[in-house]
Structure 1
Amino acid sequence: MSAIDGLPPLRDVIATHGLSARKALGQNFLLDLNLTAKIARVAGDLSGADVLEIGPGPGGLTRGLLAEGARRVVAIEKDARCLPALAEIAEAYPGRLIVLNDDALAVDWEANLTPPRKIVANLPYNVGTELLVRWLTPKRWPPPWESLTLMFQREVADRIVAQPGGKAYGRLAVLAQWRCEVRIAMGLPPEAFTPPPKVHSAVVHLDALPAPRFEADAAILSRVVKAAFAQRRKMLRAALKGQAPDIEDRLIAAGLKPTDRAEQVPIEGFCALARVMAKP
Structure 2
Amino acid sequence: MADALPSLRETLDAHGLLAKKSFGQHFLLDLNVTRKIVRYAGPFEGRAVIEVGPGPGGLTRAILESDAGKVVLVEKDPRFIPLLSELDDGSGRLTIVEGDALNVREAQLVEGPAHLVSNLPYNVGTPLLIKWLTGPWTPCALTLMFQKEVAERIVAAPGDDAYGRLAVITQAVAEARIVMHLPAAAFTPPPKVASAVVHVVPLADRPSPERLKKLERVTAAAFGQRRKMLRSSLKQLGGGDLCEAAGIEPDARAEVIDIAGFLRLADALK
Q: TM-score, normalised by structure 1?
A: 0.92
Q: Which residue of the other structure, out of 259, 266, 270, is the alignment partner of 1:267?
A: 259
Aligned to 2:231: 237
- Give the ranges of 4+ consecutive aligned residues of structure 1 lying more than 4 Å apart after TM superposition: 213-216
Distance 1:165 1:157 in 2: 16
Q: Which residue of the other structure, out of 79, 83, 94, is the alignment partner of 2:91?
A: 94
Q: Which residue of the other structure, out of 146, 151, 161, is the alignment partner of 1:157?
A: 151
Distance 2:257 2:206 in 1: 17
Relative to structure 1, is the Cα distance of residues 252 and 65 closer, same or farther in structure 2, using a 3 angstrom cutoff? same
Distance 2:175 2:256 in 1: 21
Q: Which residue of the other structure, out of 22, 25, 28, is the alignment partner of 1:24?
A: 22
Aligned to 2:129: 132
Aligned to 1:54: 52
Aligned to 1:258: 250
Aligned to 1:218: 212
Q: Does the Cα contact within 8 Å between 2:143 and 2:198 map onto a contact in 1?
A: yes
Identity of counterpart residues, as a percentage?
52
Relative to structure 1, is the Cα distance of residues 215 and 266 closer, same or farther in structure 2, using a 3 angstrom cutoff? farther
Equivalences, count: 270
Secondary structure of 1:100's counterpart equals strand
Pairing 1:65-214 to 2, within 5 Å after superposition: 65-90=63-88, 92=89, 94-139=91-136, 143-212=137-206
Pairing 1:5-24 to 2, within 5 Å after superposition: 5-24=3-22
CA deviation map 1:201-227 (0-9, x unaligned): 000000111013899811111111121
Secondary structure of 1:148's counterpart equals strand
CA deviation map 1:15-60 (0-9, x unaligned): 0111100110000000101111111111111232111111000001
Q: Does the Cα contact within 8 Å between 1:216 and 1:275 map onto a contact in 2?
A: no
Q: Does the Cα contact within 8 Å between 2:170 and 2:176 map onto a contact in 1?
A: yes
List runs of 5+ in structure 1 lacking aligned partners. Answer: none
* Farther off after superposition, 54-63 or 94-103: 94-103
CA deviation map 1:59-99 (0-9, x unaligned): 01111111112111111111111011100001x36211111
RMSD: 1.7
CA deviation map 1:223-267 (0-9, x unaligned): 1112111111111111111123xx211201211111111101001
Q: Does the Cα contact within 8 Å between 1:66 and 1:93 map onto a contact in 2?
A: no
Relative to structure 1, is the Cα distance of residues 216 and 178 closer, same or farther in structure 2, using a 3 angstrom cutoff? farther
List runs of 5+ in structure 2 lacking aligned partners. Answer: none
